[in-house]
Chains A and B, each alone.
Chain A
């Protein structure tokens, strides 16, 4: 294969190159999705834009009650960072394998936009926002609005995600992340989910691999908000409502039926765990 190769020194330079190639350029961060995509002939871009020389994209900073994670922060660094909520660290730790995590990035996982992206459920529970730069503008996008379909995001051709912003108020929330897969490592989720809760009145549940994008199951969340007691029957009902909010498919890993069963079982199990603590 062939491509034009660029190593821009700044975000603006990178956006300009993306604009010039108008959709026919791909960003190279960790390369763990992109380079695999080259080999599987999924991606055949005319240009590759390596953003790893832009050092300000690889930092974790605290500011104004939020934590700003640069798009190039690796999964290993997220798994080891003390400032980040445990559910996000757990998700990072369960991805792929150690060598992959050492080079794969949070930005890459989100922008590759797999419906099974493991970082998405915890980040959706954390009301994450993305800071995005284009050639002429900057904007902040809520993660819930970012994913548009399998492999599709709302980014324009010249836009780059520069930072992932998480509000700090969720640090005290209890939560769990579950990745249900056949293998303990080097595997994709059949279903993944994150639950974050501060009492019944604020429970956040996010699921992956059960819809064209990672989702929040807001009907189930609202049901829990109106519940009086953290009782098994309540958790069971919430799990059933969540099932109805999913649209899983049958694929090589599991059937639609099995995925629905998993949604029910895992949500019930995780809610029970969280409210037991």
Chain B
């Protein structure tokens, strides 16, 4: 089947099999390497992207459901110079980097709905993302640093 959808503002039209997932399209066919497979069962968060305004586990979304949708990945945020990308670098919140883009997308999707999250809400926003390297402290500091306190 043919699906058409937007990724980071660009329109794509692809012939796909319904047995494939959004993760496979983004990583393997569109070469958006920030979207990674960690567990393939929706538990690690490494594949998290923003679809139609909310965080989703791209490893569990079958291709037909991508039709007509708007997807955002970390590449899109980087292209727009979103401050959250730089914050992760500045705060030393990246070690191996495997979890990083998924965590950024989870945090970003929370910030899109809640401009002034409290500490608990920041923690809750990344409860579905596993990091084996950092111990999360600098990740949380990086996220908190981009909250606009005007």
Interface residues, chain A, CB within 8 Å of chain B? 1-3, 5, 7, 28, 30-32, 35-36, 39-40, 48, 50, 52, 76, 96-100, 102-103, 184-186
Contacts and interface: CB of A to CB of B under 8 A. Distances in A.
Interface stretch (B28-36, B49-57, B74-82, B87-95): B49-57
A46 to B, nearest CB: 13
A36 B61 contact: no
Interface residues of B, number: 29
Q: By CB atoms of chain A within 10 A, which of B41, B42, B124 has the most?
A: B42
A159 B51 CA distance: 30
Chain B facing A: main interface SS: mixed
Contact of A103 (B56, B109, B124, B127): B56
A2 B45 CA distance: 26
Interface in B20-73: 21, 40-43, 45, 48, 54-57, 59-62, 64-65
B128 interface: yes
B40 A98 contact: no
Interface of B: 1, 18-19, 21, 40-43, 45, 48, 54-57, 59-62, 64-65, 106, 109-110, 124-125, 127-130
Given A5-B18, A102-B55, A186-B128, A50 B65 contact: yes
Nearest to A36: B41
A189 to B, nearest CB: 15
Contacts of B41: 36, 39-40
B92 to A, nearest CB: 25
Nearest to B56: A99
A96 B42 contact: yes
